[in-house]
Structure 1
Amino acid sequence: MAPSAFKFGTDVWDPTHRFETSWLVSPWVLFFCRALISLYAFTTLVFILIWRCINADEHCVASQNQFTYFTSLTYWGIGFYFLFAAVHTFTYARTGVPLLDRFPRPLQTLHSAFYTTIIVYPFVVTIVYWARLYDGKWWPEVFEGWSNVSQHLLNSAFALFEIIIPRTDTPPLVHMLWLIVVLALYLSLAYVVEATRGFYPYDFLDPVEQGAWVAAYVFGIAIGCIILFGFAWSCIKLRKYLTETKFGKHGKFAGSLRAGTKPISEDYAGEGAVPGEAV
């Protein structure tokens, strides 16, 4: 894994447009769904910032603090991923050639890695929140209930959408390394926040209160992230087997490719050519 960590790959990039097509819906419907999810994510994030700036005791300081939470950062990631994915899907549906295919290979590879974070991190956020942070009491205010459900439950629903509906291939195993690197960078950010703003984004990172349990939480979340990568990888593998091998649904395509037929380019390039050496 380590020798290929910084390789961008030299094979044909996504020859059958797996990132922009679905086995179930047309490219236009996939574009609409992705655009709608992106719109909902950004609307949620902006509304939370405005509401806290107006109503919280600390006003706009509370809004600024939102950017210290992994939950909020991953939700911004969801918004931007679905925005970019919608643009790529739109250009594919419109012209038959996605904008992503015109990007340099490093950006294509980063999009593949971005996709992997979207199908893994939301599950990490959801499990940690409901298993460790949620106190078991429903929120008396509608806003608190809606914001927490949106960021800690719908986030995983969006991840499942990207696992199940598009024709995306299984992510490269090297992405496990980068998932852990990003988590480590966030851990560093959490301690920078404590040093500069005087609080920990999450109480289980406080060594004074938690002691040795901090290490247990950190390593537990890292191991859980790897397990969830395996879960997402297996689900995609199962989806491909059921839809393509078992039921022959090779995808709905734009342009000259007829919906439901197997693209010729995949026979030519081979399955391994769908981004295999990403990141």
Structure 2
Amino acid sequence: MTTDKLQVFKFGDGVWDPSHRFVTSWLVSPWALFAIRASISLYAFFVLLFAIFWEIAQLPNGGAIARFSFSYFTILCYWGISFYFFFAALHTFTYARSGTPLLSRFPRPLQALHALYYSTIICYPILVTIVFWGVIFRVSVPVGWFPTTFDAWSNISEHGLNSLFALFEICIPRTPSPPWFHLLWLIVILACYLGLAYVTVATKHQYVYSFLNPKVAQHGIVAAYVFGIAVGICLIFAVVKGAVSLRVWATETRGGRRGKFAKVGELQIADVEMQRFEGKA
């Protein structure tokens, strides 16, 4: 096996993110970046928890419905968004306060996993938005719009604002372009979810998504949906990777905006940044 192939299973080498790209922005200060990330995390957690309590209180058999929601890829992704922005805010706060983010003190495997976590946050929400509004919405809401204000708010939050949050992470921080081998792990995670969806069928006797039911969509259609989603995440990853690279070029190479750093250790960080070193996972 070649070194390039082994790179997929490595946690990287060299200095981890020496210019603190994951906790700084080219546009806003570290404290402002912390506040925005913390606000997104709080809102996402509020959406998830309010939806659970609403379903339990308002719907017949609401407890079972709330438990079943954890089988939806949308909900799992939204939990991922909530926790990502929580930890991103925590790392940004520690950097703004001391000049050294908590992330820099983590073991290398956790640092690499944080970089992969970032890749999921900027790709999966876009996939969720496209699949929901392009495939699921017209089937699950045949009347053209959601019947209640709660349904409209929760679905817009989970299937619309999720991509807005992803767009924020693509455009505003100084994060580097994700490496190509992250795409393999994005596909692996999707394959694991596909297994979870059919485990749910075996245990709950209910399909999470109708297009995964061969009795409804036929075997060929199910395979086409699965293949289409795999192709979709590949295209999304390529576009997002290009967008991040374009942002780095436009703001730093072309625009000369090297970033807004914490006052503590600012000179040392600037010296590292002059070397054009890109942290790798």
What TM-score results when the alignment is normalised by the length of structure 2?
0.94
Count of residue pairs the alignment pairs up: 273
Equivalent residue, structure 2, for 1:178: 185
Which has the larger helix fraction?
Answer: 2
Out of 6, 18, 22, the residue aligned to residue 21 of structure 2 is: 18
Secondary structure of the 1:263 match is helix
Cα distance in 1 for partners of 2:37, 2:53 equals 24
Give the share of equivalent positions with the same residue, in percent. 53
Unaligned 5+ runs, structure 2:
none
Cα distance in 2 for partners of 1:188, 1:174 equals 22
Q: Does the 8 A contact of 1:20 with 1:27 survive in 2?
A: yes
Cα distance in 2 for partners of 1:181, 1:153 equals 25
CA RMSD of aligned residues (A): 1.5
Cα distance in 1 for partners of 2:247, 2:258 equals 11
Equivalent residue, structure 2, for 1:125: 128
Equivalent residue, structure 2, for 1:271: 277
Out of 53, 60, 65, the residue aligned to residue 62 of structure 1 is: 65
Task: Please state if 1:2 is matched with 2:5.
Answer: yes
Out of 201, 205, 214, the residue aligned to residue 212 of structure 2 is: 205
Matched to 2:235, the amino acid is I
Q: Does the 8 A contact of 2:91 with 2:102 survive in 1?
A: yes
Task: Please state if 1:254 is matched with 2:262.
Answer: yes
Equivalent residue, structure 1, for 2:194: 187
Matched to 1:248, the amino acid is G
Secondary structure of the 1:144 match is helix
Matched to 1:11, the amino acid is G
Equivalent residue, structure 2, for 1:162: 169
Residue by residue over 1:66-114, the C-alpha shift from the partner in whole angstroms, topping out at 9 and shown as x without a partner, is: 1000000000000000000000000000000000000000000000000
Matched to 1:267, the amino acid is M
What TM-score results when the alignment is normalised by the length of structure 1?
0.95
Task: Please state if 1:105 is matched with 2:108.
Answer: yes
Task: Please state if 1:236 is matched with 2:244.
Answer: yes
110-119 or 238-247, which moves further after superposition?
Answer: 238-247
Matched to 2:217, the amino acid is Q
Structure 1 residue ranges, 4+ long, deviating more than 4 angstroms after superposition? 256-259
Equivalent residue, structure 2, for 1:77: 80
Matched to 2:86, the amino acid is L
Matched to 1:151, the amino acid is E
Cα distance in 2 for partners of 1:66, 1:85 equals 25
Q: How does 1:80-95 map to 2 (within 5 A)?
A: 80-95=83-98
Residue by residue over 1:195-228, the C-alpha shift from the partner in whole angstroms, topping out at 9 and shown as x without a partner, is: 1001111000011211111010001001100100
Cα distance in 2 for partners of 1:200, 1:63 equals 15
Matched to 1:99, the amino acid is L
Cα distance in 1 for partners of 2:80, 2:266 equals 33
Secondary structure of the 2:274 match is helix
Matched to 2:250, the amino acid is L
1:59 CA displacement: 1.5
- Distance verdict in 2 for CA 1:229–1:170, change over 3 Å: same
1:50 CA displacement: 0.5
1:262 CA displacement: 7.9
Q: Does the 8 A contact of 1:250 with 1:262 survive in 2?
A: no
